[in-house]
């Protein structure tokens, strides 16, 4: 009941009116007709003087949009006047005017340096410098360098799939050990463990420096540790340690001792793990203070895992003293494990596990106060919850209730913060993908320009050849006709490939947009834990979609896995609307057949969103895969929803004017693929039954090569 009252008080946050203006930063001229809206609330525009006024409440996100500048997002903190100064987009103008300018060879290096300078501060700006650098690149080596830095940007901002793509492009342009090691690391971070190991093993160890050889063994050990192959992990860490000790690579000696300890601990050999942790802690104490603190905390976590709370408390107290000294010279991010609020919380928790509540309470209270001052809601929430439990176990129920009420407040605040972070992360990912698409477009434009230049040169040579070869007569005419025929055939193939690539690039954004709408709607109506689980499944689905997006055909087995995951997510959201079954004939060898990626998903999406969702009773979705002939299978998707006619009648006038991009793209892709691969795919759509809810049946026929 308290939580309900608290939620109502949050929802009834007082509203107030704020004023603002939008002007050009250089001329100070006002900008009219700018879209001003509150996320999920009021909307207005700027007047001729560039001014606006809008109703908001504290914590609202103000969104300022206009076609001539990038969208601005601002969180309302108080009743303040807001002035938005818009800078002229000079870089974009320069980019268009000098798109393929290569007159100054030093410009490329300068742009790469600028990209590296902004790498950790502003991802979008850093990527923009890479765009400009690629426009001025005039060698394979420079291309490789630009894509390597682009991969570094994506690695830092945890966009590991994009990092993999760009490291691969860099490696294709020029083979270097540095990029190979980075690519293997990116594969590991993107959970492509087998690809990571294969990339590490492709590297010729004889060409590596001593530091790189240690990196290689350490990287392989990391992958084996993540895949729970602990002995191979230890073996590779030991190989790296031998090289590091031989060549006195001190930082790596410390790191590898620590990682060997972690691997032995995961393997269940705590005694060996403790021995290596003691070594790593001694070695770390001879290095910088931060590294020493990190190792003490790792060993304290190890002691905690094995219920050695007295040792854990002693180590954390030592680390806490060092952290207090360290914080005087450096600013620690709340995500860091080295913050004093986290260590105070863990010390208090260790005392609590020993039933020593008298010592636990002061540390938890200190953790709460520090977390509050540093706006670390996660630690503040956990420490408050633990304090409430201690008061309860100690029989101090009044204090336990007060602490629990504070915990409930913090949960609400943290939930709101997480919602904003998810929204910001989605925008950031969208911006990053748009930047990557622009780079791909730039490369395509440049390749097209160079291709046109080459075609023009070849055409001139061909004309000269014809003039000088008229005496050759009929024989040369036949040769020319044959060359033209081959050229037209190749051009047609190139056009088909380009069309397929264009349709795939439209398919993925369309799918992601619809899926994100589902995610957003679910988060808005469920608790944090369920939302996190839903987002985890959604991220697996996104990774599978992106991995398959560049292929014309993928194994049927992969498409079935993607299909099961997508249907599971839709059913998770509309459990009360339909049940589903996926039936696969046991006699079918799914490895023998291939299918265009994302071919089936739009039909399932239509069945759920336009058929089953509007059904009054609970519906059914059936997906069946049967083999009709030795070289042919049929995939049947049936639903007993309201049917196509009723679904069409439910659409608004605006919706009726909009054509389904997903279904349209599928038809075009099937048509092009059948033209290229001789009628391998056939799709038939019809009503499922002759009742009030007619439903829909989709039959997809696949043939082998």
What CATH number is attached to the domain comprising 132?
A: 1.25.40.10
Give CA angle at 265 (263, 269), nearest 5°: 110
Q: Which two tokens stand for residue 313?
A: 């408390």
pLDDT per position as a tens digit, 100-121: 444 455 788 888 888 888 888 8
263 and 386: one domain? no
CB 240 within 8 A of CB 276: no
327 and 282: one domain? no
CB 181 within 8 A of CB 212: yes
CB 300 within 8 A of CB 346: yes
**Residue 97: pLDDT above 80?**
no
If you count them, how many residues does the chain have?
A: 705
For 623, phi and psi rounded to 5 degrees? -125, 115
| Residues ≥6 apart with Cβ < 8 Å to 514 | 605, 662
605 and 691: one domain? yes
If one compares 371 and 551, the residue with the highest pLDDT of the two is 371
Q: What is the CATH number of the domain that holds 673?
A: 3.30.565.10
* Residue-range definition of the domain harbouring residue 427: 288-434
604 and 618: one domain? yes
Q: Tell me what pLDDT residue 527 has.
A: 61
Q: Tell me what pLDDT residue 643 has.
A: 82
pLDDT per position as a tens digit, 10-34: 445 677 888 899 998 777 888 888 9
61 and 159: one domain? no
For residue 194, is it within any domain?
no
Which stretch of 67-71, 437-441, 641-645 has the lowest confidence by average pLDDT?
437-441
How large is the average pLDDT for residues 593-621? Answer: 84
H/E stretch holding 78? none
112 and 129: one domain? yes
Domains held by the chain: number = 5
For residue 112, is it within any domain?
yes
pLDDT per position as a tens digit, 521-551: 666 766 666 677 777 877 887 787 777 777 7
Burial of 349 (0-12, 13-18, 19+ CB in 10 A): buried
Q: Tell me what pLDDT residue 508 has.
A: 53
For residue 620, is it within any domain?
yes
Q: Tell me what pLDDT residue 91 has.
A: 47
For residue 482, is it within any domain?
no
516 and 548: one domain? yes
Q: Tell me what pLDDT residue 469 has.
A: 75
Q: Tell me what pLDDT residue 225 has.
A: 92
Q: Tell me what pLDDT residue 59 has.
A: 79
pTM for the predicted model, two decimal places: 0.50
What percent of the chain is modeled with pLDDT above 70? 80
540 and 557: one domain? yes
Instruction: Round to whole Å and give the CA distance between 130 and 114.
Output: 9
Instruction: Round to whole Å and give the CA distance between 663 and 606.
Output: 9
- Residue 580 β-bridge partners: 621
CB 166 within 8 A of CB 154: yes
390 and 503: one domain? no
Which stretch of 87-91, 208-212, 325-329 has the lowest confidence by average pLDDT?
87-91
75 and 216: one domain? no
- Residue 52 β-bridge partners: 20
How large is the average pLDDT for residues 317-321? Answer: 84
- Of 172, 230, 168, the closest CA to residue 196 belongs to 168
pLDDT per position as a tens digit, 129-186: 888 888 888 788 888 888 899 889 888 888 888 889 889 988 888 889 999 999 999 9
Last residue of a domain, one of 61, 88, 115: 88
For residue 459, is it within any domain?
no
If one compares 336 and 215, the residue with the highest pLDDT of the two is 215
- Helix boundaries (H) for 549-637: 556-573, 601-606
Q: Which two tokens stand for residue 245?
A: 């000790």
For residue 480, is it within any domain?
no
For residue 243, is it within any domain?
yes
Last residue of a domain, one of 414, 434, 454: 434
- Of 496, 495, 551, 493, the closest CA to residue 672 belongs to 496
**Residue 78: pLDDT above 50?**
yes
Question: Across all residues in the chain, what is the average pLDDT?
Answer: 80
- Of 331, 365, 371, the closest CA to residue 347 belongs to 365
If one compares 8 and 499, the residue with the highest pLDDT of the two is 499
Burial of 539 (0-12, 13-18, 19+ CB in 10 A): exposed
How large is the average pLDDT for residues 341-357? Answer: 87
- Residue 577 β-bridge partners: none
How large is the average pLDDT for residues 559-568? Answer: 86
271 and 236: one domain? yes
For residue 447, is it within any domain?
no
273 and 372: one domain? no
Last residue of a domain, one of 183, 215, 245: 183
């Amino acid at each position: 009941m308290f939580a309900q009252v608290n939620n109502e008080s949050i929802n009834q946050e007082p509203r107030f009116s704020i004023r603002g203006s939008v002007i050009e930063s250089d001329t100070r001229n006002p900008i009219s007709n700018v879209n001003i809206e509150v996320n999920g609330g009021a909307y207005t525009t700027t007047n001729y003087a560039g001014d606006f006024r809008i109703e908001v409440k504290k914590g609202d996100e103000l969104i300022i949009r206009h076609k001539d500048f990038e969208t601005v997002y601002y969180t309302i903190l108080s009743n303040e006047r807001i002035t938005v100064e818009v800078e002229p987009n000079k870089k974009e103008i320069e980019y268009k005017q000098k798109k393929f300018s290569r007159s100054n060879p030093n410009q490329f290096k300068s742009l790469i340096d600028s990209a590296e300078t902004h790498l950790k501060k502003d991802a979008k700006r850093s990527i923009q410098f890479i765009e400009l650098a690629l426009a001025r690149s005039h060698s394979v080596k420079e291309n490789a360098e630009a894509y390597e830095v682009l991969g570094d940007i994506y690695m830092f901002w945890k966009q590991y799939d994009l990092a993999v793509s760009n490291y691969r492009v860099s490696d294709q342009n020029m083979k270097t050990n540095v990029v190979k090691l980075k690519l293997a690391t990116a594969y590991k971070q993107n959970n492509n463990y087998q690809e990571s190991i294969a990339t590490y093993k492709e590297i010729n160890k004889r060409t590596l420096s001593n530091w790189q050889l240690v990196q290689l063994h350490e990287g392989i050990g990391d992958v084996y540790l993540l895949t729970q192959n602990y002995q191979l992990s230890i073996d590779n860490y030991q190989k790296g340690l031998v090289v590091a000790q031989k060549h006195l690579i001190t930082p790596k000696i410390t790191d590898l001792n620590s990682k060997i300890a972690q691997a032995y601990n995961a393997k269940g050999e705590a005694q060996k793990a403790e021995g290596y942790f003691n070594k790593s802690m001694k070695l770390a104490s001879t290095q910088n203070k931060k590294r020493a603190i990190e190792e003490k905390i790792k060993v304290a976590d190890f002691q905690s895992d094995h219920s050695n709370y007295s040792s854990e408390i002693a180590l954390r107290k030592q680390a806490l003293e060092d952290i207090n000294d360290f914080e005087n010279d450096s600013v620690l991010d709340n995500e860091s494990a080295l913050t004093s609020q986290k260590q105070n919380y863990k010390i208090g928790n260790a005392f609590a596990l020993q039933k020593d509540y008298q010592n636990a309470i002061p540390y938890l209270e200190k953790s709460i106060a520090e977390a509050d001052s540093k706006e670390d809601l996660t630690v503040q929430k956990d420490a408050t919850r633990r304090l409430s439990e201690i008061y309860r176990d100690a029989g101090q129920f009044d204090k336990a209730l007060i602490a629990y009420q504070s915990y409930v407040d913090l949960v609400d605040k943290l939930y709101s913060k997480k919602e904003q972070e998810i929204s910001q992360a989605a925008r950031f990912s969208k911006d990053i993908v748009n930047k990557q698409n622009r780079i791909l477009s730039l490369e395509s434009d440049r390749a097209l320009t160079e291709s046109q230049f080459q075609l023009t040169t070849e055409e001139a040579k061909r004309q000269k050849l014809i003039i000088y070869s008229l005496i050759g007569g009929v024989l040369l005419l036949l040769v020319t006709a044959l060359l033209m025929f081959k050229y037209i055939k190749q051009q047609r193939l190139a056009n088909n490939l380009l069309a397929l690539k264009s349709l795939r690039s439209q398919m993925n954004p369309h799918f992601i947009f619809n899926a994100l709408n589902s995610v957003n709607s679910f988060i808005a109506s469920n608790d944090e834990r369920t939302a996190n689980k839903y987002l985890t499944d959604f991220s697996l689905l996104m990774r599978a979609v992106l991995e398959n997006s560049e292929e014309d055909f993928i194994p049927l087995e992969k498409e079935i896995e993607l299909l099961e995951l997508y249907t599971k997510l839709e059913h998770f959201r509309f459990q009360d609307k339909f049940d589903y079954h996926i039936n696969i004939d046991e006699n079918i060898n799914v490895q023998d057949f291939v299918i265009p990626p994302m071919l089936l998903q739009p039909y399932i999406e239509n069945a759920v969103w336009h058929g089953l969702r509007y059904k009054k009773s609970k519906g059914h979705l059936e997906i069946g895969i049967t083999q009709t002939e030795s070289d042919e299978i049929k995939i049947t998707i049936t639903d007993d929803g309201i049917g196509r006619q009723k679904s069409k009648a439910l659409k608004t006038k605006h919706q009726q004017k909009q054509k389904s991009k997903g279904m349209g793209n599928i038809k075009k892709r099937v048509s092009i693929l059948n033209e290229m691969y001789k009628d391998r795919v056939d799709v038939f759509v019809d009503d499922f039954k002759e009742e009030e809810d007619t439903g829909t049946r989709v039959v997809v026929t696949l043939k082998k090569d």
